[in-house]
Structure 1
């Protein structure tokens, strides 16, 4: 019992001590009046400059702590320099003037803030007129290190004309301007041209040959970039080789494609489109929302069914989407085999409620979509690992061509070879639900 009483009295004493401390606590007093005497003439600067300032800092009563220089564009603080000030005297500092897009010439505010060790503070505001450098040239630097001079064609506007490949990966370099200017690089980040990086911008023209590459140092607008239109709407660049659009499509809808110079040589997926003599596409599957990706590495459209803002999955009743992952199949050919890479999963075309189709041509490498000698792929409920058709949830009605092997993988029937150059249509019927898939394979 004595032990517990001792603990109780200790807790009471601690609480009383804390309460007394809280009652006596107060913010430290602010004392002293530091004085800033600016010695340098800060009359103007350029965007991209490093501005040097010199000031005398004094306090008659207390030791000094810091001298801060802060630059504001409007109400936004865009740059800051902090100098430790241990004693009265002259201090020299440098603050960077950021170079940003769409900031017009005008006055910024430079704040000099002097503080002593007792939190006494003095603030001096200086209006600082800023101008954007009007360079006489820029330099285009390609990924191979070759440099091209971009001549000034107007205020903030620059251009180089040369014999370029269809795509040019490069960044743009601006020379130093002003007394303490800095070299400014313009590259690609977060889906746009921006300053302060040498990440390559992928300029792209409809054809290789002689054309202009342009850049505006005020707006950061550059050209050329392929403007791809699919069904009258612009596709969005994902990376150097892929552009996408997500839209609702209807069965039988006719779609025009613009901006692809070699479109006549593109592979057209027969599960999703037919193409007429004018290059117009007719959409074949069920109406719905789809993601269409224009892939310039293999020159074809990747088509994937969507639900809302995400890719579709297979529902219990057989609606949604079915995906193919595995070996010996690929689009537009086996040169782009799916394999067990879920990022490359093929979305089967929904041809009717609960029925999904993939059409392939037997052949090796670039000559076919499916290997004529052996197959080893399976059907999944989503683009990725998770739900799948195992050997108990799928049967084959075409066992003379394809059988269901262990784990639900598809395999050619014993001693069966596909005929090179022949077309085969794989149709998966899940109208009985996703645990009762029925596969039919037809040779055409």
Structure 2
């Protein structure tokens, strides 16, 4: 019985194998043919290239016609047409508008396939060139500006602009098969096909050109800020940052900010001499310096390696403030509150001491505060009411029963901070993180 079953199984396998061989034998039969009926010798980048072809197969029904566009050996686009019957077919294939690709040759390939999967191909070389736009348009929320041609692929609108201009760029249709195009802001760069606003920025308001190159996608102006030769990286429309080592006492040379004299300079980290020269005041170390163009000041934060510094068990590192009634450069416009992203870094003085300089009526409220010290920029370790003591006659430490939560600072009843006077808050951790001593001195 077993022998009989095995013979049947082997016979079945032989039949299946024979069928597969027969299928391969009849595979890809027929005589598909392509005849190009329209001239396609040239096109612009960004065109929708129209083609007309006649297709036929005298033996087997047709299936599909594919039009493929190649830049060198790379297929960049493809369109497929169902070809159920012999006859004439028309279609379009898009020619991508890519940056940094000069005028040159491309190949359009037609691939016709019948239902037995037999194919025939025809290829044609075409000349591709970048469209010579007569003008571009800068589109902003309130107004559109004509960008005149100033050179090959180069355009500019020179107007009385504000220091910040947000808009995208439109290009008109060129040629019968051309398409209107747009250029907008994608991943901190200008890119094709977007209408997201480009954040142009100049050092001052006034008459200046906004420019764009349709070959390289390079645009200007954008403010480039440097500190001692190190370039700030863009964070968003109004913020950029740099991370670097700063040495105590060295000159801090800022470049790219025309109105630097109007910026607020944090007295905990910088000094500005009468002649305008700025020097770094903090202890030598690595810092993150963020430029806030809206509020016109630099946020300085201590770092440890590639991360923001945290308080260590031995009292070194950094101390941060989170809470109400305090904010730089002005509490009225930039209060920290309980938003940990705005936490203030105390300036490390060395020897496990940390300091923040606050001006009453400007960076600290005169009559109401409710903030505390933290081990990091965010929630986590913090200084509770039993971790900090002070002998100040102005400031008290909350214990949860005296009007403030544990560790939160308040102004004593009947006391106020004198408007216009500067107060130095110094936290001394030399006795340990659980035995911090806060001193508050006016000057």
* TM-score normalized with structure 2 length: 0.88
**Partner in structure 2 of residue 404 of structure 1:** 398
**Partner in structure 1 of residue 257 of structure 2:** 260
Once the two structures are superposed, residues 371-410 of structure 1 have per-residue CA deviations (whole angstroms, 9 ceiling, x without a partner) of: 1111111122222222222223333343652323423222
Alignment counterpart, residue 372 of structure 1, candidates 363, 366, 376 = 366
**Partner in structure 1 of residue 108 of structure 2:** 110
In structure 2, the residue corresponding to 1:264 is in which secondary structure?
helix
Distance 1:318 1:399 in 2: 26
Distance 2:412 2:433 in 1: 24
Please list, as runs of the form range in 1=range in 2, the aligned pairs for 1:70-81 lying within 5 A after superposition.
70-81=68-79
**Partner in structure 1 of residue 227 of structure 2:** 230
Distance 2:406 2:325 in 1: 17
In structure 1, the residue corresponding to 2:109 is in which secondary structure?
strand
CA 1:313–1:163: 2 relative to 1, 3 Å: same
CA 1:280–1:71: 2 relative to 1, 3 Å: farther
Please list, as runs of the form range in 1=range in 2, the aligned pairs for 1:11-410 lying within 5 A after superposition.
29=24, 30-32=27-29, 34-144=32-142, 146-334=143-331, 335-363=333-361, 368-398=362-392, 400-405=394-399, 406-410=405-409
Structure 2 unaligned blocks of 5 or more: 1-8, 400-404
Distance 1:216 1:89 in 2: 44
CA contact (8 A) 2:394 2:416 kept: no
Moved more, 59-68 or 78-87: 59-68
In the alignment of these two chains, the number of paired residues is 421
Distance 1:301 1:122 in 2: 66
Distance 1:432 1:94 in 2: 78
Moved more, 379-388 or 260-269: 379-388
| Pairwise CA distance, 1:126 | 2.4
| Pairwise CA distance, 1:85 | 2.6
| Pairwise CA distance, 1:442 | 1.7
CA 1:344–1:61: 2 relative to 1, 3 Å: farther
CA contact (8 A) 2:394 2:417 kept: no
| Pairwise CA distance, 1:310 | 2.3
Distance 1:285 1:417 in 2: 29
CA contact (8 A) 2:310 2:318 kept: yes
CA 1:71–1:313: 2 relative to 1, 3 Å: farther
| Pairwise CA distance, 1:299 | 0.8
Distance 1:90 1:193 in 2: 41
| Pairwise CA distance, 1:75 | 3.4
In structure 1, the residue corresponding to 2:336 is in which secondary structure?
strand
CA contact (8 A) 1:403 1:412 kept: no
| Pairwise CA distance, 1:340 | 1.0
Distance 1:433 1:83 in 2: 77
List 4+ stretches of structure 1 deviating above 6 A.
Answer: 23-28
| Pairwise CA distance, 1:297 | 1.0
| Pairwise CA distance, 1:179 | 1.6
Structure 1 unaligned blocks of 5 or more: 1-15
CA contact (8 A) 2:385 2:397 kept: no
CA contact (8 A) 1:403 1:413 kept: no
